Structure 1
Amino acid sequence: MEAQLRVLIDDRIEKLILPSGLPDTVDDLKDVIKVSFGIPDECYLLYLDSDFGDFFTLHRCDQIKNKDTIKVVKATPVVLDLFPVEEPLASSVSGPSVDWESTDMVGLGTSAFNTPAAESSAASLSSEASTVILPPRSPTERFQRWPNPFPIPTFAYETEICLQRAAEEFQRTGARLKPSKVKADIVEKLSKSIYAYVAYPSGAQISDVAEALCTKYPFLKEPGSFSGFYGWQQRLRWKMSNYRTKLRAYGVPEVMCNSLRRKSPANQKSAKNVKKPKRAEVNYLPPYPAGETEESLEQERIQLLTEIQKRDNNKVIKEIMCNTFAHRRNEIVNQMPSIEEFHARWPALFEASQIEEEFHRITTVHLEAKFMAKLDEYTPRLMTIFQAKGGAMGLRLQAILLKAPTNPDVNLMRDLIIQCLMVYLGESPNDLLKEFDDADEERMSEDLAAQKMKIYSIMSSSAEGPSDVGVVIEGVKVLTTLGTFARACCMLLGLTYALNLAYPKELRYTFEIFQTLLLELDCSKQSPKLHTLRSKLLD
């Protein structure tokens, strides 16, 4: 059941709509609020108590109800003051010594995965008397999407000295630096920084890095290049290829899956059937957690089959699903099981809440909250665009919009807007949605068993809305009781990521809208149709 909350954030008041009702935990509610209203800092929640008329700390979601008021309070960071000591740390603390000058601050568990953010943290640790304590992160997963602009890391000491002197000379005389002395270190460091975000960068991403480098250090531009950084693009492209070969020797699964030894005889070509992120996945094929093996995580999967039979066991299920994420991705990407087989092995994944969690692990984006928030944000402008459309398409759009009553609820409007979007893009809602009468169950079962990817809606004669809305993939009912067509579209998109499925060709523009416009994933790759629509929305 849909819930609404009044949210107080600093000096503004916002309305939060939760299509699936109140979340199960306070942490989930906090995540939805941070994504919906763009709050980057850590915070905690207070709720307005009706008995005392004052705000109290929110510990459980059952302390609030529909249309209650909550307040967002930004948490004060914990600061650790560091003071110099008379004797070295190693002489006063037992254990192995650490060479901080040669140790990288890493974001993915090994020195190969160091990030610019981690390096700046290391620099502040050695140069300042105070540092902010950050929460621990899993060493096997990425936590950031591709940044824009790309942050240029700090290079080796001798390289930084050379760049500093070249900058001074460039300001005085305009002379450019011949990068022969520092080229190797620059390209090596940049390749590691790129891998912290993506293993197989696209040409546009490589161009972003080269452009950011020459913007920060203009004396590195190449006078004979049409862009000024074409040579750096080629160096980075070759270095990334060599770096992946190096990581392959260390057994990194994200690049090991494309080794020629692991391909079938028919696909033993380096450029054929490459398994890599294609829709802005951040964690496409992560390595197993430290201390875990395929056998140990398989035992956790078997334990999960028992846990899902218990009542009120969401916390344990969520924890096991998080621990077995790498094992599940390895199975999906490398083994490519059928939906029926995978559904039998991982039934816990085929719940709306777990699809949201899995989508967040893969992309770092909160699925339903952002999907619905962006859809609601664009609805007024889309209505104007649809109503201004003429011709045969305009008549089809008007026929859909006339289904709305005088004061339609938000769920109905979302359903109609998505159907109008599909028509506007030249695709048919019937290719995605199949409606059935609840009296004809036998025909419905036979029809759904033949569907490759479809949303079904069972219309009841005794109720105004549908009695059931669900998703079918490869003839298997993977989701039921989703409530609305819009939510089913959202969950179907999440399943395409969780199961590594390709978009249906007849619906590629619709799924592109879901991905790039509503979830803002990989917005650099847009078809002409979507680019035109986006321009009208932002006009």
Structure 2
Amino acid sequence: MRLRVVLAPDNIRRLDILENLTSVEHLKIILQERLEIKDDFLIQFEDPEFGNELCNLTNITELPPDRAVLKILQKEPEESDLETISSLDTASMSSPSNSSNQSSSSVTVRQRENSHWPSAFLIPEFAYDVELRLNKGNENFKENGMLLTLPREMKMDILDGIAQAIFSFKAYPNNQELESVATALIEKHPCLRDPGSGTGYHSWTMSIKYKIGNYRQKLRSAGCSEVTVNRKRAKEDSRRLKKAKRCEVNFLPDNPVGQTHYSLQKERDALQEEMKKKHPNMTFVDSKMELTFSLRRKEIVDEEPLVADVLKQWPALFLEDQVCAEFYRITQTNLKSTFFSHLDEYTSKIIKLYRARSGAFGDDMKSLLEQLDNQTTDVLAHRKATTLRGQPFFMREKSGNFLKTCLDTEPEDIHAKGVKMGILTIIEDDVSTFHSNPNIRCLAVVLEEQIVLDDVQDLPTAVALLFGLIYALNMDYPKDLKYTFETIQKVFMCLDPQCSARVQSFKNKLLK
């Protein structure tokens, strides 16, 4: 079914849904995942029986069979819910990346909800007296070009407000991001232009840079984990600073209100006991994983444990649903829906790029495309798998042990030896199909020679889960595949628009 979804007058999306819709709730879950809608909403549709007038959708059978126009109406929170809405620096943690991994209870914790640095930074509103002076200053600047003379107290108020707004996105903005803030400030309040520079905002850029450093020091003194960990590391080795470097929105959050390190350890113990059961209560697991997020991140980021140790301490983290949930907690981005939607969008273009330049990448790429041409069933799935398998070749990297294959009659652990990070494909031990079209039984994700996820259904899912685990375990990309993983991060997952020259060139080819 093809849908035209109206989210706002200036935000209208086109959506293709391949699966059969069973209910209105099923449709809502898909819309939440694909369009990243967080709050509750009402669905209306254009009813052809009444001249395409809008009607509330109460039964999925009311939708036209092939294509429909939907309008999304956000529901206002009820008065009883307003008490639970947190202040500017708190939020309720939820994981809409998968309907089955949403927690049954909300956990109030200091965390960010802003997932990306904005293309146009929004300057916050300052105190009333400051805004009054700025408005008068802007009027005078418009009339006679006179700049505003700032008292020191007023400048400090402006910088304090900006520092808090910046920290709502990230603790360590780069120079380009700081410059974008200064530019936005001058555009909103031209009376604050710097007369001593051609740009008009150079001195503001430097002032904001020093102010955000001072603000981090205040937070460090208050015990903010995200900045305290870097002061500890800096004393030991400046090369081992721990910062959010891959668009992690909640890199190292503080504990939930009312929770201590000791109380969270007890929650972890209860979670471990639940995971020992043959059939764990997944609702219980979801709530405990969400509650212990801050404890888990502190251990992983600060102590850098081995994967085997994390597997022992946090076995639930290696469940497929929890990988998606953890990735959402860290990045505020839906793992599977974002990855799959962009893979669907780019597959055809990427295959064309592979064919156009197959001669430049040796026999490996030619062999990969020949195998694709020989496929007669489930061609679309094979095209997606070929897209991912060909990435290392196209990026001129050595895949090495990243993508390995073994027979279902062989011990999987043997093939995991020597694999620091990779995906193992288990195929049927059938001589007649081994060299042509082998039957894939399942796939497994390997980290540090440990099979951490098995029985994965297909390669795109395995790649998405591996990428999610890299974030969940705070692991570095393999040096031999850094451009391949950068492509996944910045092209397929849209995390950080700034790319290396090689990945930017690939991205430009896709966007032509």
State TM-score, norm by structure 1. Answer: 0.78
State the secondary structure of the residue aligned to 2:230. Answer: coil
Could you list the per-position Cα deviations for residues 304-332 of structure 1 after superposition, in whole angstroms to 9, with x for gaps in the alignment? 12223253622111111111111111111
- Cα displacement (A) at 1:44: 5.0
Could you list the per-position Cα deviations for residues 27-78 of structure 1 after superposition, in whole angstroms to 9, with x for gaps in the alignment? 897454234246576425799xxxxxx96568xxxx9xxx999996634533
Give the counterpart of 2:111 among 120, 128, 141.
141
Gaps of at least 5 residues in structure 2 are 7-11, 46-55, 80-85, 92-104
Partner of 2:16: 15
State the secondary structure of the residue aligned to 1:439. Answer: coil
Contact 1:44 1:72 in 2 (8 A): no
Aligned residue pairs, count: 464
Alignment of 1:324-473 (within 5 A): 324-389=292-357, 391-393=359-361, 396-404=364-372, 405-406=375-376, 408-441=378-411, 444-462=412-430, 464-473=438-447
Paired with 2:13 and 2:229, the residues of 1 have a C-alpha distance of: 49
- Cα displacement (A) at 1:106: 3.2
Paired with 1:29 and 1:341, the residues of 2 have a C-alpha distance of: 40
Give the counterpart of 2:199 among 227, 231, 242.
227
Could you list the per-position Cα deviations for residues 354-381 of structure 1 after superposition, in whole angstroms to 9, with x for gaps in the alignment? 0000000000000011101001101122
Give the counterpart of 1:513 among 472, 487, 495.
487
Paired with 2:237 and 2:441, the residues of 1 have a C-alpha distance of: 50
Counterpart of 1:166, as a letter, is G
Shift in CA distance, 242/529, structure 1 to aligned 2, threshold 3 Å: same
Partner of 2:505: 532
Q: Are 1:243 and 2:210 an aligned pair?
A: no
Could you list the per-position Cα deviations for residues 215-248 of structure 1 after superposition, in whole angstroms to 9, with x for gaps in the alignment? 2122322233243212111111111111111111
Partner of 1:102: none
Paired with 1:400 and 1:518, the residues of 2 have a C-alpha distance of: 21
Paired with 1:28 and 1:305, the residues of 2 have a C-alpha distance of: 32
Shift in CA distance, 30/363, structure 1 to aligned 2, threshold 3 Å: farther
Counterpart of 1:383, as a letter, is I
Partner of 1:212: 184
Contact 2:24 2:59 in 1 (8 A): no
State the secondary structure of the residue aligned to 1:481. Answer: strand
Q: Are 1:319 and 2:287 an aligned pair?
A: yes
Partner of 1:197: 169
Could you list the per-position Cα deviations for residues 125-151 of structure 1 after superposition, in whole angstroms to 9, with x for gaps in the alignment? xxxxxxxxxx98834221112222111
Alignment of 1:46-195 (within 5 A): 56=58, 74-75=72-73, 77-78=75-76, 106-109=87-90, 138-145=108-115, 146-181=117-152, 182-195=154-167
Contact 2:220 2:228 in 1 (8 A): yes
Counterpart of 2:503, as a letter, is L
- Cα displacement (A) at 1:517: 0.5
Counterpart of 1:279, as a letter, is R
State the secondary structure of the residue aligned to 2:371. Answer: coil
Counterpart of 1:314, as a letter, is M
Paired with 1:108 and 1:478, the residues of 2 have a C-alpha distance of: 35
Contact 2:111 2:253 in 1 (8 A): yes
Q: Are 1:301 and 2:273 an aligned pair?
A: no
Partner of 2:471: 497
Shift in CA distance, 14/527, structure 1 to aligned 2, threshold 3 Å: closer
Contact 2:114 2:169 in 1 (8 A): yes
- Cα displacement (A) at 1:7: 5.8
Gaps of at least 5 residues in structure 1 are 48-53, 82-104, 111-134
Could you list the per-position Cα deviations for residues 465-512 of structure 1 after superposition, in whole angstroms to 9, with x for gaps in the alignment? 321211111111111111222211111110010000000000000100
- Identical aligned residues as a percent: 31
Counterpart of 1:511, as a letter, is F
